[in-house]
Chains A and B, each alone.
Chain A
């Protein structure tokens, strides 16, 4: 019977309805991507702050660790933002923020740029873009936001919800 309906589905494309979301209890929060973006800045700073003998094992170890971690944190930004954009944002939110598609695309591009280099400017722009996304996200939930300097290095302006 299911196979029979599958064949019809292939021809007429039944409407798809979801019984559940990917994350139980609708837990979406851009703070994970914000912290990951901050981590990218911090890791670039650590590399710059530790001017060591480039040939030493210590230097190699430190730079390797920072670069690997930077790669992971930049990828985390991309994954988290894509999840919120793909799973949380729906017609009503897109209507309110039609520019969110280009914003998300810019975040993807900037996170990739952060992987490719150790330019601090790229990481700072990534933080700004992720903050912009966070502000849009909280606005869709009618939660106001405020800008505060994060209380740890790299001490940058961050968007936080006022709860």
Chain B
């Protein structure tokens, strides 16, 4: 994902549906509205990480209450497509693809 991309999200209806590897939009008490990846799930909270290695660490992001998660990413509409052959005008998000981005 890059600056200016649109991320299509679906609302979280049940907290139990949040899984590791999901890209989520969060209203974080310190960092405001952020996009991160779920890396651990407990009954009440989740832990997050960034896609980029330069992202704020999981420890600094802290434990996030599930109710602070706004939505789960479904697809990306990239701003540019010519630099990346995998990018098209519309791209569904898959867990294995997200793990690949983080590697």
Chain A residues proximal to chain B, CB less than 8 Å: 1-2, 5, 9, 14-21, 24-26, 90-93
Contact = CB atoms under 8 A, between A and B. Distances in A.
A96 B90 CA distance: 42
Contacts of A26: 56, 60
20 contacts: A1-B90, A2-B6, A2-B78, A2-B89, A5-B77, A9-B6, A14-B6, A16-B33, A17-B7, A17-B25, A17-B33, A19-B34, A19-B50, A19-B55, A20-B50, A20-B52, A24-B54, A90-B32, A92-B30, A93-B30
Given A1-B89, A92-B29, A19 B52 contact: yes
Interface residues of B, number: 26
A20 B31 CA distance: 10
Contacts of A2: 5-6, 77-79, 89
Contacts of B56: 21, 25-26
A83 B1 CA distance: 25
A20 B32 CA distance: 11
Contact of A20 (B6, B25, B55): B55
Interface of B: 1, 5-7, 25, 29-36, 50-52, 54-57, 60, 77-79, 89-90
B66 to A, nearest CB: 17
Contacts of B31: 18, 21, 90
A142 B32 CA distance: 19
A60 to B, nearest CB: 46
Nearest to A90: B32
B33 to A, nearest CB: 4
A91 B25 CA distance: 17
B32 A1 contact: no
A18 B56 CA distance: 12
A18 B27 CA distance: 11
Contact of B35 (A9, A14, A18, A24): A18
B34 A17 contact: yes
